[in-house]
Every structure is written in structure tokens, then in C-alpha cells.
């Protein structure tokens, strides 16, 4: 059984990714920060479907917690009869809408820690546990291509994560570990407070397919990219956005 770790897997894109990966036969470890109940719901859904799943607490914005998280991962893997895992999906994140002129240093640092520093050092911490031939997927954003007023720090750090993805592919290639990033467009999630009617209509009008995306439409792409059928895709950023502002 292949095993995937999905950060921020208790809701939204992470939860959908967990469900889709489980449907593909993977064992799933999801992380949550402050909502264990939602994480338990995801685990329950996977188990109800005949899959294998577990939830572990992790604040991706606090690197000091990473060694203890690694130990918790080892314990869970041991319970499943494994010493390593196959795939890491750096998904955890949150949104902030604020123009550059009003962004505080605390807001800037919070976004930096979760969206760039966290994935960097979490990957570093877990790298010895990733099996040769595994894969890392970093969830970025279409806002790295299309400038959207009010999300400058978020988009900047997601852009940094895209660059980091290529460096991961370069440096981990000798172990056969691939690294790719997926950039969602407008998706119906709770990120940044979710979508209201007027905002959704605007985003749908800017998308070639005439609507916003659903979380499972990202999760299914992640699961597909992790399959052996896509084993020659490496160091790529794949936008999954229905044709957003083209």
C-alpha cells in the first residue's frame, strides 16, 4: 500500500485530496491544526469506504513542532507495517485579503511561515522517511500567474513555492523522487472566508468554463499525478483552473 501525507487535510482541498487518494488505494495521513473533529470526519469517510487513514496534529507555521510530528509519523507508519511513506502533499494554508498598503508585518510573517517556510522545513524534516521513487506535490495558486489585488503576500509566497518545487525536483532526483506543484484557480472552499454570490459570479465570468471549481476537481488531479501513469511528469507547475483569465 502506498502512503500519502496531506497537510491541512481536515477540510477543503486537503479533505477532497484525502478522499480521492484513498479511492486510488493509498493509505492516508491527514494533518489538522485546530479542528480534530473535521479531521476525524475525513478519516471516518475514508475508513467507511474501505480505506486506511489516520489524522495527526500539526501547525505548519511552527517549525519547532516538526521533530515531534516526524516521531508521530514514524509511530503511525510502524502501526501500518512501514518504515517510510511514499508521497507528501504540502497543502495546508489560509487566505488573507488586504492591499499591500495595509498588510502588517505580523500578517506577512504568518503567511510566509505557513506557505513557504513551513513546506520547506517540513519537507526537509520528512525527507529521510520518503521512499525512493516517491513524490512531493506542493499546492500553489493561479494568483501567481494572474495578479489579484489584495493577495500580494499570499501569491508571492505561493510563487516562491513554485520555484522551490523545481529545486526539490533537481536535488531529490537522484533518489527518484519527483516534485510537482498544482495551482488551483477559484475553488469553492472556505479559504479566505469562502465565496459570496457576487464574488463567485465575477470569478465564474473570468473562467472559460463559466463556473468556479469544486474541491474534488483538485483532489482528483493530485491522486492522478501520484499514479505511476504520470511517473514522467516532474518539476512542473500544473494550473487546474478551468481556463481562468485566458
Chain centre to alpha carbon of residue 15: 10
User: Are residues 52 and 1 in contact, defined by beta-carbon separation less than 8 angstroms?
Assistant: yes
Q: 183 phi and psi, to 5 degrees?
A: -110, 100
Measure Cα distances from 172 to 17, 63, 146, 177 in Å: 24, 21, 30, 5
**Planar angle of CA 153, 159, 161, nearest 5 degrees:** 105
Catalytic one of 32, 87, 154, 244: 154
Nearest to 179, CA basis, from 219, 242, 124:
124
**CA-based end-to-end distance of the chain:** 40
Residue 108's H or E segment, with its range, is helix 105-112
Q: Give yes or no: 154 in active site.
A: yes
Give the span between the Cα atoms of 143 and 190, in whole angstroms: 17
Give the span between the Cα atoms of 200 and 186, in whole angstroms: 8
Residues annotated as part of the active site: 154
Amino acid at each position: 500500500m502506498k502512503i500519502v501525507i496531506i497537510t491541512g487535510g481536515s477540510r477543503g482541498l486537503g479533505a477532497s485530496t484525502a478522499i480521492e487518494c484513498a479511492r486510488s488505494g493509498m493509505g492516508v495521513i491527514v494533518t489538522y491544526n485546530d479542528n480534530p473533529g473535521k479531521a476525524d470526519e475525513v478519516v471516518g469517510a475514508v475508513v467507511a469506504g474501505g480505506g486506511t487513514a489516520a489524522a495527526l496534529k500539526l501547525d505548519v507555521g511552527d517549525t519547532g513542532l516538526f521533530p515531534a510530528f516526524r516521531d508521530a509519523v514514524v509511530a503511525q507508519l510502524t502501526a501500518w507495517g512501514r518504515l517510510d511513506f511514499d508521497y507528501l502533499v504540502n497543502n495546508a494554508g489560509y487566505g488573507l485579503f488586504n492591499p499591500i498598503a495595509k498588510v502588517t508585518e505580523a500578517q506577512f510573517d504568518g503567511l510566509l511561515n505557513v506557505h513557504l517556510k513551513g513546506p520547506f522545513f517540513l519537507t526537509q524534516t520528512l525527507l529521510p522517511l520518503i521512499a525512493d521513487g516517491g513524490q512531493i506535490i506542493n499546492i500553489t495558486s493561479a494568483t501567481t500567474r494572474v495578479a489579484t489585488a489584495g493577495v500580494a503576500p499570499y501569491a508571492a509566497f505561493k510563487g516562491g513555492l513554485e520555484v522551490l518545487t523545481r529545486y526539490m525536483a533537481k536535488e531529490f532526483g537522484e533518489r527518484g523522487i519527483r516534485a510537482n506543484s498544482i495551482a488551483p484557480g477559484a475553488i469553492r472552499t472556505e479559504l479566505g472566508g469562502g465565496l459570496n454570490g457576487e464574488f463567485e459570479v465575477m470569478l465564474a465570468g473570468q473562467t472559460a468554463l463559466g463556473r468556479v471549481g469544486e474541491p474534488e476537481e483538485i483532489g482528483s488531479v493530485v491522486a492522478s499525478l501520484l499514479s505511476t501513469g504520470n511517473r514522467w511528469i516532474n518539476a512542473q507547475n500544473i494550473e487546474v483552473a478551468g481556463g481562468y483569465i485566458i
